[in-house]
Amino acid sequence: MASQKYCVALFTNNQFLVKDLTSVGIFIRRKLFGGQLSSGIHYLGNPNFNESRFNLGYSLLVEKNVRIGIATNIWHFGFREKEANTALLTFSPSMAYTLNGLRCGVHIKNIGVSKASHQILQESIAFGIGYKKQNIQILTEIEKFTSRSLLPKVALLYQFHEDFSIQYGITLKRFNQHIGIAFTSTNIRYELAFYHQTVLGNSSAISVMYSE
């Protein structure tokens, strides 16, 4: 990924197979000044309630094994009652460390959300550790939202071939499950994922990424 000059990705996520909860977006990343500049647009909802976000981020390798990043997010929440519309500006710093097959990182999401806006958006902090040995990767993450308990996650990824992989993961506290496959053809990567939430049901997601 570090050798890529740029990439463009399109994605859609159909939450719980409900049309009004389907999100769509585009993501772009390219090399710039020794680091990576990224931007994206995301939209979800309908005329009664919708959520849109624009983000702009930059990451840089500051040491051989250390990468830091910062993203600015502009959120807009639209409601049927226009006077309730809300716009928010948040920031999301991150840092990652890699050593051989070990990778760990921390990501603080949505710094700047006021208490009055917690019903629609919350700050969170996530710690992740991953380890890769040959064709197998073990991925773990613990995320803490402002007004929720810890959310631990674990996933196992198996690389059948350099162009094909499969992943299975669970959210331990809620026992939500997901399975995903990814395959690459020339410069295009396709990803397909299915999620099962024990209360609300099934979801699906698709993304297509072109890189060079």
The full set of domain ranges for the chain reads 6-188+196-211
- Rounded CA-CA distance 164/101 in Å is 19
Query: Does 6-188+196-211 carry CATH code 2.40.160.40?
Result: yes
Per-residue confidence (pLDDT) for residue 18, from 0 to 100: 84
Residues 55-73 as b or e (16 or more Cβ within 10 Å = b): bebbbeeeeeeebbbebeb
Considering the entire predicted model, what is its pTM? 0.81
Spell out the alpha helix ranges (H) of the chain.
none
Q: Give 25-65 pLDDT, tens digit per residue.
A: 999 999 998 899 999 999 998 888 899 999 999 999 998 89
1 pLDDT higher than 50: no
Of residues 171, 162, 90, 99, the one with CA closest to residue 131: 99
204 pLDDT higher than 50: yes
Per-residue confidence (pLDDT) for residue 84, from 0 to 100: 79
Per-residue confidence (pLDDT) for residue 2, from 0 to 100: 47
- Rounded CA-CA distance 192/206 in Å is 5
Q: Give 75-103 pLDDT, tens digit per residue.
A: 999 888 887 788 899 999 999 999 988 99
Q: Give 103-155 pLDDT, tens digit per residue.
A: 999 999 989 887 767 777 889 999 999 999 889 999 999 999 887 778 899 99
